[in-house]
Structure 1
Amino acid sequence: MQTNFTAEQLQNPLVARSNKILRTCVHCGFCTATCPTYQVLGDELDSPRGRIYLIKDMLEAGRPADEKTVKHIDRCLSCLACMTTCPSGVHYMHLVDHAREHIEKTYKRPLGDRALRWLLARILPYPTRFRFAMLGARLAKPFARLLPGKLGAMIAFAPPSMPSPSRMEEPQVHPAKGARKMRVALLTGCAQRALNTDINEATIRLLTRLGVEVVIANGAGCCGALTHHMGKTVESHAFAAKNIDAWTREAEGEELDAIVINTSGCGTTVKDYGHMFSADPAYAERAAKVANLAQDITEVLMKLDLPLADGVPKPRVGYHAACSLQHGQQIKDHPKTLLRRAGFEVAEPADAHLCCGSAGTYNLMQPEISTQLKERKVATLAAIRPEVIAAGNIGCMMQIGSAMEVPVVHTVELLDWATGGPKPPALS
C-alpha cells in the first residue's frame, strides 16, 4: 500500500511504525474471509482491509478521529484472525492499537460512552473493586432487560456467584514438590482473580506437582490489556511497568525460567511489552527481557513430564481455541496435545478460528455483535456434543458459559485433575 506521510510526521515513532505496517498491506482481501465482524455485518469497513484504509486516511491527514472511523474501529474485536491469515505479514495489532490511542486523544465520545469506559477502567483491573461491582450487578440482574443496551449487558454479565479471595494468589513462593526443575513467576491477573480462583489454584498445584517453584511476585497485577485496548496508553503502561518492576526484582534475586500466564489475553499483551516500551529508555531493556520470559501455561507444560493417561475414562472435551492464544500467540496444538496425553478425547467445533465475541471488554461495549458471535460459537460447540468445554482464557469461559448447559473450565483445571488434583468444581 502506498503511503504519503510527510517527513515531519515520520519523526513520530508511532507514525513511522504504522507507516511500515501500512506499506506491507497489498489489498489482497484474504483477511475478510476470517474476520468475524465482516462475516456478521457484511460491511467492508468492518473488515481489517476496510479499517486499514480508515486508519491510513486518519493518520496521513493528521486529523482528529471522526464518528465514522471510531464506529468501525470500535467494532474491531482485536481477535487477530486477520494476522494469522495475512500472506503479507501485516501487523494489524500494532496498527489498530495506534489508531485507538489516536482516537482516545482526539475524539470526544458521547457522555454515556465516556462514562462507561471510565467506569470499566476504574473497576476491571482491580479485583476487590470488581468483586464489589459484581455484587451490585447481581442485585440488579432481575432488571437487566429493562436497562439500555450497554448498561444492561454489564448487569447481565454478572455471574450467579463470586468466589472468595484465594490465599494461594497472594504474594508468596509455592515450593516445588521433590527436586526443583524450574522456577517461574505466575501472573495471577485481575478480572480472573475476581471471577474464578480455581484457575490459578489449579495452575499452582499442577506446576508444583511437576517440580516447578511458583513465585507470586509482590507488586504484580493487571497486565494492562484492558486499558490498552481502550487506547488509554498512559494507564496501560503504568500497569505494565509495575509488572516489569516486580518480575525484574524476582529475576535479579534468583533467576526465573519463565513468567507463566494462564489467561491468553494477558499473555498476548505481556509478550508485547518489548514493543510497547521500545521507545522508553527507562524500561525498554527490562520490558524486552520480561516479554521473552513470558509463556502460556501450555508452553511450560510441554517442557515438563506430564504423566500419561491412567486409563480411567474421562469426559469428552470440546476445545475452544481462544483468539488471543491461537492468533495472538500462535499457540494452536499445545492445549489439545496435553489434554489427549492426559487421556481426554478432544473435539473441535467448526470454524474454530472465529471469535466467541468476548474479546476483553467487547461484550460489554458492543453487546449486539458480541451476542451474535456468541450464539454462533455456542451452536458449533453444541454440535460436537461435548461433556465439558475447555478454554485458555477467562473471558471466553464467561462468554460461552453464559449460554451453554455444558460446564466450561480452563484447560489447566482438567490437566490438574487428570494428574492427581481435585475434580474441577464446575464439573461437580
Structure 2
Amino acid sequence: METRLSPEFAGTPEGQQAEAILRACVHCGFCTATCPTYQLLGDELDGPRGRIYLIKQVLEGAEPTRKTQQHLDRCLTCRNCETTCPSGVAYGQLIDIGRRVVDAKVPRPAGQRAARWALMEGLTSPLFGPALKLGQALKPLVPKALKDKVPHARPSGAWPTREHARKVLMLAGCVQPAMAPNINAATARVLDAIGVQALTAPDAGCCGAIRQHLSDHDGALADMRRNIDAWWPLVQRDAVEAIVVNASGCGVQVKDYGRELGADPAYAEKAARIAALARDPVEFLADQAEALAAKLRAKPAENLAWHPPCSLQHGQRLGGRVEDLLRKLGFSVSLPAESHLCCGSAGTYSVLQADLSKQLRERKLKHLAHLAPQRILSANIGCIQHLQSGTTMPVQHWLEFLDEAMRDR
C-alpha cells in the first residue's frame, strides 16, 4: 500500500513502524471475511481493511473524528485477520498505534474517559480482589451492566509445597487470582505432578495488556518494566527454565516484551530474554504427554468442547495444540463451528462494547451447544468468565480439568 506520512509522523519510530506495516498490505480483503465485527455490522470500516485505511489517512495528515475513533474502538484486537492475511500484515501492532494517535487528537466524552480510567486502574489494582469479594457478597445490588462480570466465588485448593530441581516462574496476573484463583493453583499442581516447581514473584502484576489496548502505552511499558524487575533476579542466575503464562492473552503480551522495549537501553536486553523464556503451558507440557498420562487417576467419560482463545490461536499461533495434547491423554475433545472467531470477551471490550460482545458470545455459545458437551474448556480467563456468564454449562481452564483428572475425586 503506497503511503506518504505527514511531517508529524515521518521519521518517528512509531511512524516508521506503521509505515512498514501499511506497505505490506495489498488491499486483498481476505481479512474482511474472517473479521467478527464486519460479520456483525457489514461495514467496511468495521473490518481490518477499512480500519487500515482510516489509520493510513490519519498518519498522512487527515483529521480523525469521533467516527474514526468508534470504528477503531469496535476492533476486538482478536488478530484473526493476521492468521488470514497472505501478506503477513502486523495488524495488531498497527491498531495499537492507530488508537494512540487518534485518541491523542480526538477527546473522548467524560463518561468514556472515566470508564477507561476505572478499568485501567481498577483491574490492575491490589484492591481489585477485595472489591470483587464485596461484589460477590452483594451481587443482587450490583448494577445490571456489570452483574455478569462478577463470578461466583471459587476456592483455589492447595498450592503444592514440594520442592523440585526443575523450576519455572508463573505470572499470577491481575484479575485472574481474584476471579478464578484455582487456575493458578491447578497449573502449579499439574506442574508439580511431573516434577516441576512453580514460583511466583510477589512484585509482578498486570502484564501490560489492559493499558496497552486502552491506548496508555507509557503505562503498559511501566507494567512490563515492573514485571521484568520482579522476575530478573531468578532469570539472571538461570534459576528457572521458563516463564509459564497460563492466561493466553497475557502470554501474547509477555512474548512481545522484547519488541515493545527494544528501544529502551536499560531494558531491551532483559526484555528480549524475558520474551524468549515466556511459554504457554501447552508449549511447556507438549512433550510431557507420557508423564502426564502416568499421573491420571480418572478419565471422565465426557464430551468436552474446546474454545480456542484468539490470543492462543491467532496471537501466539498455537491453534490445535491443546486439543491435540488432551486427545493424546485419552480425552474426547471437539471444536465448534467457527472456532476461529472471537467469543466477544477481548479483555475490556466486553465492558466497553457490551452489545457487540454479547452478540458474539451468543453466536459462540450456540455453536458450542450444538456439540452437546458436558463442559467447555478454554485457556484464557477473559473467555472463561465471558462464556460462563452466558450459560449454565461449566466452563473452565483446561489445566483445571487436567488437574481434576490427576486427583482423587
* Structure 2 Cα separation of the partners of residues 370 and 294 of structure 1: 29
2:29 aligned residue: 29
- Equivalent residues of 1:131, 1:162 under 8 A apart: no
- For 2:332, the equivalent position in structure 1 comes to 345
Q: Secondary structure at the match of 2:60?
A: helix
Q: What pairs with 1:47-62 in structure 2 (closer than 5 Å)?
A: 47-61=47-61
1:298-317 counterparts in 2 under 5 A?
Answer: 298-304=282-288, 305-307=291-293, 312-317=299-304
User: For residue 2 of structure 1, what is the aligned residue in structure 2?
Assistant: 2
Q: Judging changes above 3 Å, is the alpha-carbon distance between structure 1 residues 206 and 143 closer, same or farther for their aligned structure 2 residues? A: closer
For the pair 1:158 / 2:144, whether they are aligned, the reply is no
1:356 paired with 2:343, answer yes
Q: Contact 1:165–1:194 at 8 Å: present in 2 too?
A: no
Q: For the residues of structure 2 that align with 1:166 and 1:232, how far apart are their CA atoms? A: 36
Instruction: Determine whether 1:215 maps to 2:199.
Output: yes
Structure 2 letter corresponding to 1:95: L
- State the Cα distance separating 1:135 from its structure 2 match: 2.4
Q: In structure 2, what is the Cα distance between the partners aligned to 1:117 and 1:390? A: 30
Q: Partner letter of residue 387 of structure 1?
A: Q
Q: Which residue of 2 aligns with 1:122?
A: 121
| Aligned match for 1:175, one of 150, 160, 163 | 163
Change (3 A) 1:128 1:8: closer
Is this contact kept in 1: 2:156–2:185, CA < 8 A? no
Task: Give the alignment partner of residue 407 of structure 2, picking from 383, 398, 421.
Answer: 421
List alignment gaps of at least 5 residues for structure 2: none
Task: Say if 1:103 and 1:231, in contact at 8 Å, map to a contact too.
Answer: no
Verify the 8 A CA contact 1:416 1:422 in the aligned structure 2.
no
Mapped partners of 2:8, 2:214: distance in 1 = 27
State the shift of 1:356 in Å: 0.4
Q: Distance in 2 between matches of 1:42 and 1:35?
A: 10
Deviations 1:252-297 (A, max 9, x none): 2343211000000000000111111111111111111111110101
Quickly say closer, same or farther: Cα 1:113–1:155, change in 2 above 3 A.
farther
Query: Per-residue CA shift, 1:357-409, capped at 9, x if unaligned?
Result: 00000000000000100000000000001011100001100111111121011
2:373 aligns to what SS in structure 1?
A: coil
Provide the C-alpha distance between the structure 2 equivalents of 1:85 and 1:20, rounded to a whole number of angstroms. Answer: 19
For these two proteins, the number of residue pairs brought into alignment is 406
- 1:189-268 correspondence to structure 2 within 5 Å: 189-268=173-252
Structure 1: distance between partners of 2:386 and 2:10: 41
Aligned partner of 1:162: which letter? A
Shift of 1:341: 2.2
Distance between the aligned counterparts of 2:137 and 2:111, measured in 1? 22
Are residues 1:79 and 2:71 paired? no
TM-score under structure 1 normalisation?
0.90
RMSD: 2.1
Query: Once the 2 structures are TM-superposed, how far is the Cα of residue 207 of structure 1 from its aligned partner?
Result: 0.4
1:320 maps to: 307
Q: Which runs of 4+ in 1 moved over 6 A?
A: 164-167
1:55 to partner: Cα distance: 0.5
Is 1:188 the counterpart of 2:175? The answer is: no
* TM-score of the pair, normalised by structure 2: 0.94
- Note closer, same or farther for the CA distance 1:211–1:137 as it changes in structure 2 (3 Å cut): closer
What residue is the counterpart of 1:426 in the other structure?
Answer: none
Cα separation, 1, equivalents of 2:393 and 2:136: 24
Distance 1:156 1:102 in 2: 33
